[in-house]
């Protein structure tokens, strides 16, 4: 839920997003126990979760190896923090304790490679769940771990809490696999170009992880994995390829990827299934969430950053207008009306007692600023 459903909920219903994060805080004690059972410090969130935060997945390998979920949880906390400025959740309601515990967990899983002079994360699962490559650090997971540590350090600084040197060192030296010669991110160390992959994985570095990379590398990642991703794989995959191509303004390529999502919708009630051949999970919320993100973050170009809600729209020639209402940002409600000629932003609601709409729209290239006032 943290990667696929949460961002849509956050942008339109931040109060519901807060409730999701409060659930994670309530189950933190279970996450502490999960980590201890792995011989680690901090907190590990389960692959399948219930009331206590303990692992309830019936197949042990997933609970043991799908540790990237813990990074996904912290990305959700970061997105909420950057979008709402709700410090109460972190200062008073347990958010900081969770952030700190996740950072401790990642650092306790780091192992130093004397040969490469960098850290690896031990025991991560890449590619197809359960296959023998379980101990190889996956690139997406490494990027998620790096983002977790950087966010934990940011929150500590915001609250005037000393940042542990261990966090800084691990974030600086963790290895995120990258092929400098071919200018792309291998799925894992030892990946051979052309080897099949199950689902969207490396392409998540560009979005939602927003791992720093050039447009050339972003394109190369998409080009590398699009033809080798399993056609009948999980439904959320093609929406992430669509977001990537929209980011690069390759609108037709994006449309061709997004259209694949419809293969996972079954009749007569339009129920989403995990795989396009009808197998896997039914009423597949992950696929629905990915599809919604292609619309909400793909066509609009919305990106949640440290200092702003960026937007850079792109949509096909047969669409002449896109309206998105109820976008929440720091307590304000915004309505975006986007055409090929202009973008209009209207503040429809401001937080009670706040100064009259302190928001501004800033043009990235010129730096020109436009105050946004309610009404």
Residues acting as catalytic residues: 129
Half-sphere exposure of 175 (CA within 13 A, CB side): 23
**Those residues with Cβ within 8 angstroms of residue 52's Cβ, 6 or more apart along the chain or in another chain:** 27, 29, 30
Cis peptide before 276 (omega within 30 of 0): no
Alpha-carbon distance of 88 to 36, in angstroms, equals: 28
Alpha-carbon distance of 16 to 188, in angstroms, equals: 35
CA distances from 30 to 51, 56, 71 (A): 9, 11, 16
Angle ∠(67,70,72) on CA atoms, nearest 5 = 110
Angle ∠(214,144,16) on CA atoms, nearest 5 = 110
In the chain, at which residue ranges do the beta strands (DSSP E only) sit? 110-113, 118-121, 265-266, 271-272, 303-304, 309-310, 322-329, 332-338, 343-349, 360-362, 369-371
């Amino acid at each position: 839920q943290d990667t696929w459903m949460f961002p849509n909920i956050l942008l339109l219903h931040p109060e519901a997003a807060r409730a999701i994060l409060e659930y994670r805080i309530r189950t933190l004690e279970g996450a502490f126990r999960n980590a201890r059972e792995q011989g680690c410090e901090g907190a590990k969130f389960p692959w399948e979760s219930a009331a206590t935060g303990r692992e309830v997945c019936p197949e042990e390998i997933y609970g043991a190896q799908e540790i990237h979920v813990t990074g996904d949880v912290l990305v959700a906390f970061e997105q909420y923090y950057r979008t709402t400025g709700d410090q109460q959740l972190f200062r008073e309601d347990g958010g900081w304790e969770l952030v700190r515990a996740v950072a401790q967990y990642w650092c306790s899983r780091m192992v130093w490679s004397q040969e490469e002079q960098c850290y690896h994360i031990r025991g991560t699962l890449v590619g197809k769940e359960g296959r023998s490559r379980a101990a190889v650090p996956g690139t997406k997971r490494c990027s998620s771990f790096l983002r977790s540590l950087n966010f934990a350090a940011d929150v500590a600084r915001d609250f005037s809490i000393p940042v542990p040197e261990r966090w800084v060192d691990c974030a600086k030296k963790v290895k995120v696999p990258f092929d400098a010669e071919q200018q792309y991110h291998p799925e894992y160390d030892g990946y051979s170009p052309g080897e099949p992959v199950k689902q969207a994985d490396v392409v998540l570095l560009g979005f939602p992880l927003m791992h720093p990379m050039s447009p050339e590398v972003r394109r190369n990642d998409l080009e590398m994995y699009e033809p080798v991703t399993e056609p009948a794989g999980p439904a959320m995959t093609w929406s992430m390829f669509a977001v990537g191509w929209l980011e690069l303004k390759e609108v037709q390529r994006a449309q061709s990827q997004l259209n694949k999502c419809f293969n996972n919708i079954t009749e007569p009630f339009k129920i989403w299934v995990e795989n396009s051949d009808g197998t896997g999970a039914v009423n597949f919320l992950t696929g629905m969430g990915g599809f919604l993100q292609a619309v909400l973050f793909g066509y609009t170009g919305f990106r949640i950053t440290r200092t702003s809600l960026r937007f850079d729209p792109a949509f096909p020639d047969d669409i002449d207008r896109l309206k998105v209402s109820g976008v929440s940002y720091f307590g304000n409600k915004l309505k975006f009306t986007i055409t090929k000629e202009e973008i209009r932003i209207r503040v429809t609601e401001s937080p009670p007692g706040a100064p009259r709409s302190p928001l501004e729209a800033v043009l990235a290239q010129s730096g020109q600023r436009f105050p946004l006032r309610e009404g």
